[in-house]
Chain A
Amino acid sequence: MTRKVSLIKNLDWWTILLYALLVFLGWINIYAAVYNEEHQSIFDITQRYGKQLMWIGAAAVLAIVILIVESKFYSAFAYPTYIFMLILLVAVLVLGRDIKGAKSWFELGPIRFQPAEFAKFATCLAISRYVTQYNFKIHKIKSLITSAVILFAPMALIVLQGDAGSALVYSVFLLVLYREGLSGIVLFLAFIAALLFVFTLLWPKFTVLLIIVCTSLIVAKAYGLKWPAFAKAILLLSAGFALVWLVVKGLKIDVSNYLILIISLGLSAVPFWVYTYKNKLKNVAWTILIVFASIFYTFSVGYIFENILEVHQRTRINELLGIESDPYGAGYNVAQSKIAIGSGGFSGKGFLNGTQTKFKFVPEQSTDFIFCTVGEEWGFVGSSLVLLLLLTLILRLLFLAERQRSSFSRVYGYGVACILFFHLAINVGMTIGLAPVIGIPLPFFSYGGSSLWSFTILLFIFLRLDANRLELLR
């Protein structure tokens, strides 16, 4: 009895309130998105809104079950759950059903079930467990590799299913590791890598290379390079470039400026590196190495982009960056989505009055593009409110995570917050043209049992852990 009372008392009801509110808003927006005059009842279970209500009911039951289970269970069974999910992911590759090019669904009678959704919480549990093990040291190579394996295993299996979007979600654990002490430089490098990726696609190679060189010179300066040495470096580089240019032009060899810059960089880097090394400017020496790593990276970006990414992925990125524009082809989804959201104006067209979503101009409007219905019918006010509600929930989770005495609970809490954030960022970003089209759902909003249940499990395990925060100390 006392246990029950303490559970109810210790539960974070704010989070539950936000959760309920979001699920409810999601449901009525699904109703609006697929509304049609023949099936006006919101409880009509032949329609998606009726079904979603059933999923919501089931999710509530699931939530209660999760809360009743002893909290120790989750850390104790983290690895078995993880292994079980991996097995499911392998099984779906063999037994799964092909839907829209992705073999990621089990079909059991009328119910379809997507293991990739559930792999999220399992992986989150596993990584939390591993990171809090006594022998885990964030800077030990072995620890890092093991964490990486835990993350890459489900990722790889999901990519094999043909659902690269869902696989990308796991990259967000970088933030979780950062919280647990991973160097900020790694985060910074990841950011730079993303920027370079975009630049390489957008601009000529020469420009990108010039940017790399200039940036690293500035970084080198910031890391203790003195003015005279800085000037020498620039002189050396310029002289090298001029020399190579003259030689090349003199011999009438047809070589692009880009290649000349690379050659001169290579030539001038050798004495410069020796200089910095001798003078024990370790950071500057590192910078030079990073410059060359970046150059290599820009090459590989081009290669990855042209050879590893599939055509539709490539065009989606090109559409996003404005390199291609085909509003009736590859860019149709985003063009229509922006039209729907943009036409909402300040306060929207009103519930059920959205024309773009109701008349099916926006594809996948009840699942991946549900935010369009929000934007069109509720306008700036409504879409901002939804964003702020989700943000509040995520920040609340961060706050809750930080108050945990148990590291396991903390890491898990961060994991939940980061996963929710990644979905929010990619899903909403995609509908307004700020992120490439990656088919992942908007938490609590998008239609679908699997995703709703997966987010519910993810969240309520954390709430269960949080309710127990005072009893556990590890």
Chain B
Amino acid sequence: MNNFSNRIYVIGGIFVLVVLIFMIKLFNLQIVDDSYKLSAENNSQRQVTQYPARGLIYDRNGALLVYNQAVYDVMIIPRQVKVFDTLDFCVLLGIEKLDAIKRLEKAKNYSYRRASVFLKQLSSEQYAVLQEKLYKFPGFFVQPRTLRKYPRQSAAHALGYLNEVNNKEINADPYYSQGDYIGKSGIELTYEKELRGEKGKKIYWVDVYNRIKGSYRDGKFDKSPVSGKDLVSTLDIELQEYGELLMQNKKGGIVALEPSTGEILAKISSPGYDPEMLVGRVMSKNYRALVQNDSLKPLFDRTLMAQYPPGSIFKMVNALIGLQENVINPFTRFECHSGYHVGSFTMGCHAHVSPLDLRQSIMHSCNAYYANTFRYIVESPKFGSVNNGYDVWRNHVMSFGLGERLGADLPNEFRGGIPTLKYYQKKYRRKNLRALNMISISIGQGELLITPLQMANMCAAIANRGHYYTPHIIKSVGKEKGIDEKFTVKHETSIDPSYFPSVIDGMEMVVTGGAGSTGSLAAIPGIRVCGKTGTVQNSHGDDHSVFVAFAPRENPKIAILVYVENGVWGSRYGAPIAGLMIEKYIRGEISDSKKWIEKRMIEADLINQSEKE
């Protein structure tokens, strides 16, 4: 004992204090803060994702359009990499030494212990060679992946392409994680959920060297991957390829529908691209090339996204509205003296007999007839005013599925536009409109904008004598036969079926009416084709060539729209191409008498020729 015995309390106090601080810290680490538990799981469990096979896509006749091809990603765990023969390795992988060093650095920067991709997508052949020598390169292993493969270099726009998910997509759907592939356009996009299947996972215990120490809880939490569902498309790949052939070196689009179902038989946007271009390692390079360096915009799907004035093919709609509203009948005649003249206003027309009745007006595509009809409709006293008349007219037009999205199972469908009353009121700064303000719309010109898909659908509605089904591109998903109910709903137009025959008469005369028939090149011996030409004024260059048609006249099997930009006359490209397509679809081959047309169409070059000018 001495004087300082009290100091035991100071020293003991320090000891107790330190242990107390430690216990508070432990309490915080072990009980309050959860993040350490998570880190521990990440540390010692390795989830190996089992990728499912993506669903295949077939055409309507069972031809395979898209399947999966095995490729092999070379993975790296930098920590396990030992000194190796770089030259040998680079030769095996077909890369430069500098590139290899860069990739190694990148992997190290990502993580020293975790696996990352060293080189993407080796082919089976490359893999076969590499596999034998892989043991020489510790730290590298190979992970199988799949890529899309296209046996027919066709229908790229319709099928769409895949790419790695971006951050926005990852945030939107927790299913995805970095490096996954997702449908970016076409069927791959709309049917992503059906096609992708469900990822599986295997959980392993791993030690600090990332060596697998066994299955986590005997695989209790493992999940087998579920393959994606196979899809059957409505496309007829033979027809599709034929259409692409006919449209080569031309800008424009073709949409062919089966009127009785709304199924899309062919959907061609030209110029297109080979779907193989947007697969695998070459994708990003090609994508840039397609987007930036090609003024023809091959990625732009004209069938859904181009909004064109329809031109004269719109006249049938006007005729039907006139009949429905009882302002004309099939025998109503209007005179035409090289056009339509009111006061100083003139809308030109070409030379034909005058006056003509409804059928003839379609056959000759008389502008004056439709200017008159349109005026009679909107100025009809029963509506009280032109404004009301226009609204009635517009509703009729929209009942054909024009001016709004049809709701097809394809992404990026544009709505087109039928000008509203308000639009005209604003444009002409007057409350009460006059028919002349809007008169150019009567012949499908002016502010009217319609997509090729909508034009084809309008034709299908006429072929069906008054109704249509929403166009769609998938017939069945997986083993179930049915499709989305919205594609089996019958959409009635506001026109009574009894008004259609006379208009259809006119359309038949367009093709087979003898002298003055604008669409005679669409004629097919033995098949009653009904069609209508359109020549759309184009202030930027040659006029566009448009043709709609359906066939056969009774129980039509196909309704088609052909839109060839800068094709000058509807009769020049639209009609012959439509005729060939119809024959190809119905007969499977082109009759000898039409081979010369086929040859001329295939050889026609509107792109390179215009560049030369």
Measured CB to CB, the residues of A under 8 A from B are 175, 178-181, 184, 328, 336, 338-346, 355-356, 359-361, 375-376, 379-380, 383-384, 387-388, 390-391, 394-395, 398-399, 402, 405, 407, 414, 417-418, 421, 424-425, 428-429, 432-434
Contact = CB atoms under 8 A, between A and B. Distances in A.
Given A178-B10, A360-B207, A391-B16, 10 more contacts: A328-B111, A339-B36, A343-B39, A343-B40, A345-B30, A380-B31, A391-B19, A398-B8, A405-B1, A421-B18
B26 A360 contact: no
A342 B29 contact: yes
B22 interface: yes
15 contacts: A178-B10, A179-B8, A179-B11, A328-B111, A341-B29, A342-B29, A345-B31, A346-B30, A359-B205, A359-B206, A383-B26, A391-B16, A399-B8, A417-B11, A429-B18
Contacts of B25: 432-434
B47 to A, nearest CB: 14
B8 A375 contact: no
Nearest to B214: A37
B144 to A, nearest CB: 27
Nearest to B23: A384
B247 to A, nearest CB: 57
Contacts of A402: 1, 5, 8
A387 B19 CA distance: 7
B3 A181 contact: yes
Contacts of B209: 360
Contact of A407 (B2, B27, B39, B113): B2
A391 B23 CA distance: 12
Given A391-B16, A429-B22, A434-B22, A355 B8 contact: no
A379 B23 CA distance: 12
B43 A342 contact: no
B21 interface: yes
Pick the 5 closest A-B CB pairs, nearest first: A342-B36, A343-B40, A359-B207, A355-B44, A342-B29
Given A342-B37, A387-B22, A398-B11, A359 B213 contact: yes
Given A180-B4, A398-B12, A421-B15, A356 B30 contact: no
Nearest to A363: B208
B5 A338 contact: no
Contact of B26 (A380, A417, A424): A380
Nearest to A404: B1
Contacts of A429: 18, 22
Interface string B189-225: 0000000000000000111110001000000000000
Main secondary structure on A side of the interface with B? helix
Q: Which of A181, A359, A360, A417 has the most CB of B within 10 A?
A: A359
B492 to A, nearest CB: 66
B112 A340 contact: no
A181 B111 CA distance: 56
Contacts of B112: 328
B599 interface: no
B33 interface: yes
B81 to A, nearest CB: 16
B53 to A, nearest CB: 33
A275 to B, nearest CB: 35
B457 to A, nearest CB: 60
Residue from B14, B27, B30, B37 whose CB has the most chain A CB atoms within 10 Å: B30
Nearest to B21: A434
B7 interface: yes
A74 to B, nearest CB: 21
Nearest to A391: B19
Interface string B25-56: 11101110101110111011100000000000
Nearest to B44: A355
A429 B208 CA distance: 24
Nearest to A376: B40
Contacts of B205: 355, 359
Given A387-B19, A394-B15, A429-B22, A342 B40 contact: yes
A44 B207 CA distance: 23
A399 B11 CA distance: 11
B40 A340 contact: yes
Contacts of A376: 40
A216 B205 CA distance: 58
Given A180-B4, A339-B40, A339-B43, A384 B26 contact: yes
Contact of B4 (A181, A336, A395, A425): A181
B26 A375 contact: yes
Contacts of B2: 181, 407
Contacts of B33: 342
Contacts of A432: 22, 25-26, 29
A390 B19 CA distance: 9
B30 A379 contact: yes
A333 to B, nearest CB: 12
Contacts of A390: 19
Contacts of B206: 359
A387 B23 contact: yes
Contacts of B1: 402, 405
A359 B111 CA distance: 19
B29 A391 contact: no
A360 to B, nearest CB: 5
A425 B14 CA distance: 11
A387 B30 CA distance: 15
B214 to A, nearest CB: 9
Most buried by A among B12, B22, B41: B22
A36 to B, nearest CB: 10
B11 A338 contact: no
Nearest to A379: B30
Contacts of B45: 355
Contacts of A179: 4, 7-8, 11
B44 A356 contact: yes
A361 B18 CA distance: 28
Contacts of A425: 18
Contacts of B11: 175, 178-179, 398, 414, 417-418
A359 B31 contact: no
Nearest to A356: B40
A473 B69 CA distance: 92
Nearest to B216: A355
Contact of B208 (A343, A359, A387, A398): A359
Given A380-B27, A384-B23, A387-B23, A345 B37 contact: yes
Interface in B275-312: none
B22 A343 contact: no
A361 B206 CA distance: 10
Nearest to A138: B4
B304 to A, nearest CB: 50
A236 B299 CA distance: 79
Nearest to A394: B15
B590 to A, nearest CB: 68
A342 to B, nearest CB: 2
